[in-house]
Structure 1
Amino acid sequence: MKSTAAYGSWPSPVDAALAAAHDGRPEYLGAVGDELWWTAPRPVEGGRRALVRRRADGTEEGVLPAPWNVRSRVIEYGGRPWAAVARPAGGPLAVFCHFADQRLYAYEPDALPGAEPRPLTPVSAVGGGLRWVDPVIRPDRGEVWCVLEEFTGPAPTDVRRVLVAVPLDGSAAEDRSAVRELSDGRHRFVTGPRLSPDGRRVVWIAWDHPRMPWDGTEVMLAEVAPDGTFHGARTVAGGPSESIPQVDWDGAGRLLLASDRTGWWNLYRAEVDAAGTVGEPVALCPRAEEFGGPLWKIGLNWFTPLDNGLIAVVHGKGTTALGILDPERGALVDAHGPWTEWASTLAAHGTRVVGLAAGPRSAYELVELDTRTGRSRVVGAAHSDAIDPAHYPEPRVRTFTGPGGREIHAQVYPPHHPEFAGPEDELPPYVIWAHGGPTGHAPLVLDLEITYFTSRGIGVAEVNYGGSTGYGREYRERLREQWGVVDVEDCAAVARALAAEGTADPARRAVRGGSAGGWTTAASLVATDVYACGTIIYPILDLRGWATDETHDFESEYLYGLIGPVDQVPARYKERSPIEHVDRVTTPFLLLQGLDDVICPPAQAERFLARTAGRGVPHAYLAFEGEGHGFRRADTMVRALEAELSLYAHVFGVSRTDVPALEYRT
């Protein structure tokens, strides 16, 4: 028999420290001989990313001690920050980017005991300096090929990106001129090089402002001369309205690429003849599903070819699966297991493929699929229950109806506790979660931050509003020139539907989100009367400022597609910006901001607060030193999560003594 207590007042074993300790997930898998390597979050170690290896005997250990932080800042969101190769003697050779100074380092973890990583690249005092990502080690040439992001002036847009070769002997550690440039810099953005099996050709992806990589990209192909220089670089696939987020080679020297030319990211193969002419790409498994995703980070991969000619693919609609594709027959067989989300990183070794997978009752873990037997098993970063799984929420995948009858996808997490239930005459409060991006997706996976609320009696609904990925290009482009309209309407439609069906208390609904989700939250408080309060996390609040000089280069022209060209529709920028309409905000809110955020800078939050002051609306502001875009430190996440719960307790009329009370301004 469950005890009865008011929604929001239930005791919970999930405190903020526990949720923070389990925040983040592994990234950037790779096979190094018989070992698997990846990066892993360390919130309690200042938020650093550790490089971890799983030896052949199954033991896991860190490659580098603290404070080494394996993370790149290229396009600010980074990308693949490491590469390693096995060697016959001396153990593996690794190359990685260290977050603190963004230099590339070489490291031999099994060489001399106590040996330190040695720098391969110099430091620059110009603007954001020199940054590196998506490395490929070329032992035969004594080089590492990668992307260089080089700032040429003080502004965030004073930057160029090229493919380069960095000497492994350290001769470029203090000498920028020793870094050999491979591409000509004609494109604003590039991904790392992918060398053909015979070493004669190389491909990469490129695009330019104002397009984002999910709008349109080009596949570039060049010949590789014996001296390692690139010649005859040309576009062989893609274009302004075709997004290709990944390209690679199969064992026979044919191009493999993911393209959304039909409205869905599907996998294609193209023949390359002896003269380097690329044939028309042929779909290998045409489906109304996604076999790719948004290229927010450099070096993501949704497919990888295997030695036996098969191709491992991450695919799906809404949720994703790991499948093995036979390209000759078009047959696709999926791995069995409880996982509903596979990350955009795969590693192949022999006939086995390893990915990162999670589900509603498990966090991301390394899962290996043996293509010979069809069996899958967890081989690394294994999920372990920090609490009794009886406290985990039971999500419901829902499709709601929005304005004009459009579909809205969401995951609804009702309040859940094995020992408590709410009064029969009371409906629970709900928080609508708007994901970031906005070209992003809320995955169906276990998240202890969600459990933090649901186990206390507060429901959560994650909305994959129009503009989200995972449902095809048409769904993704619902947000074109409609940001601040469609996302706001879709979140409000879900909130209203939950109340209308008797799931949520109509008087106790909140909205929250970070980054683009912070924008949607602020815009929702301005444009609707649906919510009793909101949590705005490192948001965009002033479109004109963000479109000019208040963000980084990668997204500096993102608003051309989301809002429209600023010089053509200036009134739209003013009308949509929450900062222009603080008088419409009538409900309490919490604003959380990292003071080192260069993507959504604190200046916007501070201007918003200045205009809010004295209007009588209770609000609280927490700013965190040492935090950028996305909180990574455990102490920050604890304070932020407890503050959010304190806001809801105050507004929803719930008594809680387990979190500090917020100090409100008016």
Structure 2
Amino acid sequence: MTTSPSPIANPSVSGNWPSWVTPELVAGRTLSFSELRTAGNWTFWLESRPDEQGRSVITGRNPDGKIHDLIPPGYSVGTRVHEYGGGAWDVRLKKGVPQVVFSDRKRGGVWFSDGTTATQWAEAGEIPEHRYADLTFDLTSDAVFCVRETHGEGVPVAALVHVHSDGRETVLVEGADFYAAPRPSPDGCFLAWFSWNDPAMPWTVTTLCVAPLDRTTGTLGPVTNLSGPEPCSIIEPCWSPDCTLYATSDASGRWTPIRFSHDDTDWHPHSLNGANAEIGLPHWVFGQRSMVPLPGNRLLALGIRHGLNHVLLEDNGRWTDVSLGTPVNVPQPLEDGRFAWIDSPADAPAAIATGRIGEPCDRFRNSVTLPPGVTKADIATPTPLTFPTTNGAEAHALFYAPASSTSALREGEKPPLVVMAHGGPTGRANPSFAFKVQWWTSRGFAVLDVNYRGSTGFGRAYREALDRQWGVADIEDCLAGVKAVLDRGLADPARCVIRGSSAGGLTVLGALAQSDLFAAGTSLYGVTDLRALAEETHKFEARYLDGLIGPYPEDEAVYLKRSPITQAGGISVPVLFLHGGADKVVPLSQAESMRTKLEHSALHVYPEEAHGFRARETIEDALQRELAFYQQVFNS
């Protein structure tokens, strides 16, 4: 990306500016990185490639800087445990050579690969079907610890299992509704994990456990509950090199790391307060890492403060902010003292990077190369906003002004505004560079990405402010955010639109029904009927609505009142629905039913897509279809 002087910007109609962000750039040439790990001086990550139909590949960079694919062609890493997946692979070095285990997105099961061939360790089966996630190598044998979800008749059953290379599976623990993060200690003597039971979600109440591993019988010894006296969310167990156990708990009001020391009689907790940030993420997917223990009893963490990411180091009871790029997950240590991470600043696309604390980083694998001539002036960056909302509360958002080095607002003109309602609703507006924002800002739109009450990164109380208030507080905060932007003169009140995906779709439709602030809205695989969702959705979210709305069917009247499908009469502006035909989380029937109740609406279905769009052709079409929809509305 160049920083050379740009030509003088020409005034032109905002919303129609010529843009460097093409559909092909967004969908066809942009890699997606996740779940970075290290071993020795190797760096590994999961790389999703749209031009290979969204295939996800375990990729590694050796100490000499050469990049390798570590699974054979024809395989794609993925799992459908909890439908959202994650944590579908692990890696180890054996005599300096990387070996991986993974679950294949289509074949399922557990596979082992040295990069050239793949050998199956466990079969998925058909009835019952076994799904595997959160794979973690057993450091003492050719086996993995993992979560197994069995789908047969009735409700899926979860367990922690030990899968051997010869196909044997040993059930280590079962009985809870959900399990996650089976993590063996470095010496192979203990296993830690967390679990939870309906109607709790992993960001409300979990149980952290640890147990000795009996290597002679292949089973666990007596289980110790480390959760503490008060119900809380305690997640992400991990071990230091000296076998000290860490986790992060929100018992103090926000996710804060805890260190557990062990003696001959018990485990002893030591809370690591003072970070002035929330260290932890809601467990929507497996494989998330917010902290990593370092030698010398130190802890490196990624914290969220005022909606922005910060790298933090705890050393001898003191937390300090450190300079180590702009990671989306905690940087992982390399053997030579450097760190590796997925670097994702606000003003540049993501890249895999390495570096040392306080020094410039080496961004060696870019997710995409920007077109020639793109300058800093062409990229919108976020400004955090805090604004008053209902009941004397405050809400938060990230605001992006239009950005272009060649176009400018006409004299006296204010830009159209795209309001974004994130999914979850226990999600977050992320400040990292994203084409879903630049697509709009480069064309002359302003963007408001709302962290409504219930969002992550602002502590437990803010997250719990959406309890029994979904479909109320989130909508109020989006409307309050728009009014705050308009009061500041940052957008055109006649050209405000709102878009949201999944849970955000409910917020979109509710906002359209309850206000006249918007000219149009788009629901991407969004929720429209809460009763149907409670009856049809998958196991992981089957009781999620108990906390967000109330127990069902006891509170059926509330479900009806909050459902967009019963508020359709209040929507008078055009609505665009984009949905996947294979969606098991929010079934297509939700969009179809809502579409029939709205005169000025359109529904486009992508038959092969599930919950979230992955195929290159789908992403390109959805972007162009939504842009054309708003432009038509503005010109009518």
- Does TM-score exceed 0.5, indicating one fold? yes
Counterpart CA distance in 2 for 1:58 and 1:66 is 22
Amino acid in the other structure paired with 2:182: P
- Which secondary structure state, in structure 2, belongs to the residue aligned with residue 361 of structure 1? coil
**Correspondences of 1:598-617 after superposition (within 5 Å):** 598-612=584-598, 617=599
More off after superposition, 598-607 vs 58-67: 58-67
Is the 2:275–2:312 Cα contact (8 Å) retained in structure 1? no
Shift of 1:215: 0.2
Counterpart CA distance in 2 for 1:229 and 1:65 is 33
Aligned residue for 1:504? 491
Q: After superposition, what is the alpha-carbon deviation per residue over 1:512-548, rounded to whole angstroms, capped at 9, x for unaligned?
A: 0111111111121122221110010001111111112
Q: Is 1:93–2:99 an aligned residue pair?
A: yes
Q: Is 1:392–2:392 an aligned residue pair?
A: no
Q: Is 1:572–2:558 an aligned residue pair?
A: yes
Match of 1:621 among 582, 603, 615: 603
Amino acid in the other structure paired with 1:199: G
Aligned residue for 1:123? 124
Match of 1:161 among 158, 162, 167: 158
Is the 2:71–2:113 Cα contact (8 Å) retained in structure 1? no
| Change beyond 3 A, Cα 1:348–1:293 | farther
Q: After superposition, what is the alpha-carbon deviation per residue over 1:448-502, rounded to whole angstroms, capped at 9, x for unaligned?
A: 2221211111111111111100111111111110001111111111112222222
Q: After superposition, what is the alpha-carbon deviation per residue over 1:302-344, rounded to whole angstroms, capped at 9, x for unaligned?
A: 1111234322111131111222221x2424241254x2x5226
Counterpart CA distance in 2 for 1:348 and 1:215 is 34
Aligned residue for 2:448? 461
Aligned residue for 2:138? 138
Counterpart CA distance in 2 for 1:382 and 1:33 is 22
Counterpart CA distance in 2 for 1:494 and 1:229 is 54
Match of 1:255 among 245, 248, 262: 245
Counterpart CA distance in 2 for 1:564 and 1:376 is 50
Give the TM-score taking structure 2 as reference length: 0.94
Amino acid in the other structure paired with 1:316: I
Aligned residue for 2:213? 224
Amino acid in the other structure paired with 1:52: T
More off after superposition, 516-525 vs 238-247: 238-247
- Which secondary structure state, in structure 1, belongs to the residue aligned with residue 419 of structure 2? strand
Is the 1:58–1:379 Cα contact (8 Å) retained in structure 2? no
Is the 1:216–1:239 Cα contact (8 Å) retained in structure 2? no
Aligned residue for 2:579? 593
Q: Is 1:20–2:27 an aligned residue pair?
A: yes
Is the 1:133–1:192 Cα contact (8 Å) retained in structure 2? no
Shift of 1:260: 0.7
More off after superposition, 557-566 vs 446-455: 446-455
Aligned residue for 1:381? 365
Match of 2:182 among 179, 193, 203: 193
Shift of 1:24: 6.2
Counterpart CA distance in 1 for 2:341 and 2:324 is 13
- Which secondary structure state, in structure 2, belongs to the residue aligned with residue 605 of structure 1? helix
Aligned residue for 1:181? 171
Q: Is 1:150–2:150 an aligned residue pair?
A: yes
Counterpart CA distance in 2 for 1:556 and 1:47 is 28
Counterpart CA distance in 2 for 1:66 and 1:429 is 45
Counterpart CA distance in 1 for 2:279 and 2:88 is 23
Amino acid in the other structure paired with 1:605: A
Match of 1:241 among 231, 239, 252: 231
Is the 2:324–2:356 Cα contact (8 Å) retained in structure 1? no
Counterpart CA distance in 2 for 1:528 and 1:348 is 53
Amino acid in the other structure paired with 2:346: P
| Change beyond 3 A, Cα 1:53–1:251 | closer
Aligned residue for 1:630? 612
Counterpart CA distance in 2 for 1:431 and 1:238 is 44
Counterpart CA distance in 2 for 1:7 and 1:319 is 28
Pairwise CA RMSD: 2.0
- Which secondary structure state, in structure 1, belongs to the residue aligned with residue 286 of structure 2? coil
Amino acid in the other structure paired with 2:51: V
Query: Percent sequence identity over matched residues?
Result: 32
Runs of at least 5 residues in structure 2 that lack an aligned partner in the other structure: 1-7
Is the 1:307–1:351 Cα contact (8 Å) retained in structure 2? no
Amino acid in the other structure paired with 1:256: Y
How many correspondences in the alignment?
624
Shift of 1:211: 0.6
Aligned residue for 1:284? 272
Match of 1:35 among 33, 38, 42: 42
More off after superposition, 389-398 vs 575-584: 389-398
**Correspondences of 1:48-63 after superposition (within 5 Å):** 48-63=55-70
Q: Is 1:204–2:193 an aligned residue pair?
A: yes
Aligned residue for 2:303? 315
Shift of 1:638: 0.5
| Change beyond 3 A, Cα 1:344–1:643 | farther
Runs of at least 5 residues in structure 1 that lack an aligned partner in the other structure: 110-114, 173-177, 655-666
Is the 2:40–2:334 Cα contact (8 Å) retained in structure 1? no
Aligned residue for 1:365? 351
Amino acid in the other structure paired with 1:78: G
Aligned residue for 2:474? 487
Shift of 1:167: 1.4
Match of 2:290 among 302, 307, 311: 302
Shift of 1:435: 0.7
Amino acid in the other structure paired with 1:262: S
Counterpart CA distance in 1 for 2:132 and 2:336 is 29
Amino acid in the other structure paired with 1:148: R
Aligned residue for 2:3? none
Give the TM-score taking structure 1 as reference length: 0.90
